């Protein structure tokens, strides 16, 4: 199956769904999981320096026998060591992954670079100009973070990866306005959280109602996960997900073959999701609360596999 793509603002294309190596694979050997994902149709792999498994991500790619040209590889800049730059950090990632370039390189966390965001973004542009990455972007950036780097950017971010699902969609509106203005693709992690982490919320009956309608229209099974992933896909969101099960991996990829949600169904998910603000990955920048600003995704053992 050919995975459909989304256009980036730099002229490149990105597969609309990616297999993530954080969450359940955080600081774990990812080789078998990567092979499973590639064998079952994923072409976009989403890694990060902080996940601590770029070497086994590379091992999985090598073991799969897939050619580099078939794949789209994302990694993310972690906290820089003294004397390091985004470019030198990426060179180390390339050595770990055992490839000559990545397709997308993201600044993982703005709060890793307090007071230095403009300098960091210039370093990201240098990494792209050196041919080490085809596209550059950010992750977990608020509207204010985006405005800071856009003041000096000669290359705007192509992607901003954030927690995105119906229970935070309303809170993301300031971000989404800037994304629309600069044609920045919104990428989601935790997109299935209302199903896996938020059972009993107001969306449950809505998802079931839409799932039943889609299944009837399709004449074949449709899952709750496919309903939410379809909602994200129709909003032009790049979905990052993961699973240890081959059948679940194939189900996620099959989302693009599920009939489209109607405008009314999308609006119903939007309005119902807006009744509950619930973030499952703690982030001080978005919630302005007193909890730790450490991104919970960096702590192992917090997620079921999506």
Q: In this structure, what token pair is assigned to residue 78?
A: 């972690």
C-alpha pair distances (Å), 253 with each of 15, 233, 247, 260: 11, 11, 10, 15
Catalytic status, residue 51: yes
Residue with tokens 């320096």: 49
Query: Residues within the annotated binding site for substrate?
Result: 108
Cα–Cα–Cα angle for 215, 217, 219, rounded to 5 degrees: 60
- Report the distance separating Cα 130 and Cα 119, nearest Å: 17
Q: Are strands 5-7 and 13-15 parallel, antiparallel or unpaired?
A: antiparallel
Among the options 51, 105, 167, 252, which is catalytic?
51
- Report the distance separating Cα 252 and Cα 305, nearest Å: 13
- Report the distance separating Cα 184 and Cα 186, nearest Å: 6
User: Which of 99, 1, 105 has the alpha carbon at shortest distance from 55?
Assistant: 99
User: Which of 16, 118, 115, 120 has the alpha carbon at shortest distance from 72?
Assistant: 16
| Phi and psi angles of residue 153, each rounded to the nearest 5 degrees, phi first | -65, 130
Q: Could you tell me where the beta strands, DSSP code E, fall in 10-127?
A: 13-15, 17-20, 44-46, 72-77, 102-107
Structural element, H or E, at residue 181: helix 173-182
Q: What SS3 state is found at 23?
A: helix
Q: Residue 288 — left, alpha, or beta (φ > 0 → left; ψ -120 to 50 → alpha)?
A: left
Query: Residues within the annotated binding site?
Result: 108
- Report the distance separating Cα 244 and Cα 248, nearest Å: 8
Active site residues: 51
């Amino acid at each position: 199956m050919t995975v459909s793509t989304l256009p980036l603002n730099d002229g490149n294309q990105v597969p609309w769904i990616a297999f993530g190596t954080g969450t359940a694979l955080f600081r774990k050997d990812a080789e078998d999981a990567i092979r499973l994902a590639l064998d079952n149709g994923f072409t976009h792999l989403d890694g990060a320096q902080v996940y601590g498994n770029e070497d086994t991500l590379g091992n999985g790619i090598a073991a799969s026998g897939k050619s580099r040209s078939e794949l789209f590889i994302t990694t993310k800049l972690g906290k820089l060591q003294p004397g390091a730059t985004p470019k030198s950090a990426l060179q180390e990632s390339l050595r770990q992954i055992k490839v000559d370039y990545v397709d997308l390189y993201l600044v993982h966390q703005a709060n890793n670079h307090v007071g230095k965001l403009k300098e960091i973004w210039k370093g990201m542009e240098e990494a792209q100009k050196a041919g080490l990455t085809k596209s550059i972007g950010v992750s977990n950036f608020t509207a204010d973070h985006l405005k800071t780097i856009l003041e000096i950017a000669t290359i705007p971010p192509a992607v901003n990866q954030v927690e995105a699902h119906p229970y935070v969609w309303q809170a993301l509106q300031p971000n989404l306005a800037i994304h629309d203005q600069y044609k920045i693709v919104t990428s989601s992690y935790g997109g299935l959280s209302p199903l896996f982490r938020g059972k009993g919320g107001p969306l449950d009956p809505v998802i079931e109602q839409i799932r039943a309608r889609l299944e009837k229209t399709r004449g074949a099974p449709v899952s709750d996960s496919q309903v939410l992933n379809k909602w994200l896909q129709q909003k032009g969101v790049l979905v990052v997900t993961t699973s240890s099960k081959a059948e679940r991996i194939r189900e996620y990829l099959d989302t693009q073959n599920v009939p489209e949600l109607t405008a009314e169904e999308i609006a119903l998910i939007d309005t119902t999701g807006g009744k509950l603000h619930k973030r499952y990955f703690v982030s001080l920048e978005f919630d302005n609360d007193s909890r730790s600003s450490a991104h919970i995704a960096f702590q192992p053992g917090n997620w079921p596999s999506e």
